């Protein structure tokens, strides 16, 4: 155990072959003969050789890592997605770098600076709120195929994306509430300008129309996915003279805030009003009452995103690739919804 790290040279010397052969043995085992493969493997073990990634990255012009950009590291919604991404990447020997879009802004760096030859080969963005012109610079630099959006996306850009069936999930939610007997259904939306917010709101309106349900403008309550916005929405609901009997929230956090605030004012869910969320985050099942929600498989979102991005990185000229994956959602019925009394 010397304190110095062994290099390819050392391995080559021990195995009595050239560095070229060692390198080939390691990265293309099929092109060398059985005997040298064994000898080199032995030498690697003996020297305790570990590859110097900087050298390889320099030579191959690959960073062997992927950057994930999130709006907010502290948001638990993303963690499972990260788990999925990381799982996929690490089995390919790639690493996952993390940065938050907030930091990108604060540090004044341009997004493209992160697509350094060595920092990252590609990037997965989980924030649809990015400036269009920031993204423009990526498209201009024809780096578009090294960038992929997951969950959210930005309209008018050409980046591939992974998302869930927002429309279908919303339809399922409204239909379910309708089947329970609800006729007056409200919707608490995500933040203004967010693509998911629009996607779900539009689908909500469409489905209400399809079911020929009345839809007062005030039943669309503006929110922003957060617990706090849910609380505010609850106050709005309480203040209504003609209250909806069911509320479909655009996120679980909204639904939880909504229910929490209601409960503080003496209302009970689902007795006084049925409440649904979207996402089915871990906590949804443990909440009181357990939340009826639309489930997104976040692990799969992450794995699919990594899969798609890597496919593009590996074959930069592949036009045959799907440019969008839409993953299924499912209705999870729990205790926060019931027939109207």
Which chain residues interact with DNA by CB under 7 A? Answer: 5, 7-9, 16-21, 23-24, 26-27, 31-33, 35-36, 49, 51-52, 55-56, 58-61
Instruction: Please report how close the Cβ of residue 306 comes to DNA at its closest, in angstroms.
Output: 22
Q: Give the span between the Cα atoms of 13 and 6, in whole angstroms.
A: 11
3-class DSSP assignment, residue 168: helix
Q: Within positions 87 to 146, which residues make up the interface with a second copy, using CB under 8 A?
A: 87, 90-91, 95-100, 103, 107, 113, 116-119, 140-142
The residue among 58 and 321 lying less far from a second copy, judged by its C-beta, is 58
Cα gap 159→147, rounded to integer Å: 6
Tell me which stretch binds a second copy (CB under 8 A): 53-61, 165-173, 216-224, 240-248: 53-61
Residues 6+ apart with CB under 8 A from 259: 230, 234, 269, 275, 287, 289, 291, 336
Map residues 3-42 to x or -, x wherever contact with a second copy holds by CB under 8 A.
x-x-------------------------------------
* Interface with a second copy (CB under 8 A), residue from 264, 271, 315, 333: 264
Judged by beta carbon distances under 5 to 8 A according to partner kind, the member of a second copy, DNA, none in contact with residue 75 is a second copy
Choices 205-213, 286-294, 305-313, 321-329; region in contact with a second copy by CB under 8 A: 286-294
Peptide bond into 83 cis (omega under 30): no
Residue 151 neighbours by CB distance under 10 Å: 27
Listed in sequence order, the residues at least 6 apart from 77 whose beta carbon sits closer than 8 Å to its beta carbon are 251, 253, 279, 281, 298
Q: Distance between CA atoms of 119 and 104, rounded to whole angstroms?
A: 14
**CB neighbour class for 265 (10 Å; exposed up to 12, middle 13-18, buried from 19):** exposed
DSSP track, 279-294: B--GGGGTSSSPPBEE
Using CB under 8 A, list all residues that contact a second copy: 1, 3, 5, 50-55, 57-58, 61, 63, 65, 72-76, 78-80, 82-83, 86-87, 90-91, 95-100, 103, 107, 113, 116-119, 140-142, 227, 231, 256-257, 259-260, 263-264, 282-283, 286-288
């Amino acid at each position: 155990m010397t304190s110095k790290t062994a290099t390819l040279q050392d391995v080559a010397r021990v195995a009595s072959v050239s560095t070229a052969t060692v390198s080939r043995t390691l990265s293309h085992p099929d092109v060398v003969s059985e005997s040298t493969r064994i000898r080199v493997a032995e030498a690697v073990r003996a020297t305790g050789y570990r590859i110097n990634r900087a050298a390889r990255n320099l030579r191959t012009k690959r960073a062997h890592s992927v950057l994930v950009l999130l709006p907010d590291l502290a948001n638990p919604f993303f963690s499972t997605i990260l788990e999925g991404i990381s799982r996929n990447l690490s089995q390919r020997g790639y690493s996952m770098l993390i940065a938050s879009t907030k930091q990108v802004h604060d540090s004044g760096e341009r997004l493209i600076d992160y697509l350094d030859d060595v920092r990252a080969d590609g990037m997965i963005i989980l924030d649809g709120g990015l400036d269009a012109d920031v993204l423009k610079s990526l498209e201009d630099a024809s780096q578009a195929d090294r960038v992929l959006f997951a969950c959210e996306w930005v309209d008018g850009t050409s980046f591939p994306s992974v998302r869930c069936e927002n429309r279908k999930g919303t339809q399922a939610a409204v239909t379910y509430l309708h089947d329970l007997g609800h006729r007056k259904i409200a919707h608490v939306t995500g933040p203004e300008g967010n693509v998911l917010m629009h996607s779900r709101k539009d689908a909500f309106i469409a489905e209400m129309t399809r079911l020929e349900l009345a839809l007062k403008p005030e039943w669309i309550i503006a929110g922003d996915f957060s617990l706090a916005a849910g609380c505010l929405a609850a106050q709005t609901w309480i203040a209504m003279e003609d209250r909806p009997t069911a509320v479909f929230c655009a996120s679980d956090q909204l639904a939880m805030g909504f229910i929490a605030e209601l409960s503080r004012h003496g209302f009970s869910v689902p007795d006084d009003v049925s409440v649904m969320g979207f996402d089915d985050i871990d906590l949804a099942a443990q909440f009181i009452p357990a939340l009826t929600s639309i489930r997104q498989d976040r692990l799969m979102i992450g794995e699919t995103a990594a899969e798609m991005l890597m496919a593009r990185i590996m074959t930069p000229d592949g036009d045959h690739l799907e440019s969008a994956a839409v993953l299924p959602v499912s209705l999870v019925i729990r205790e926060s919804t019931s027939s109207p009394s």
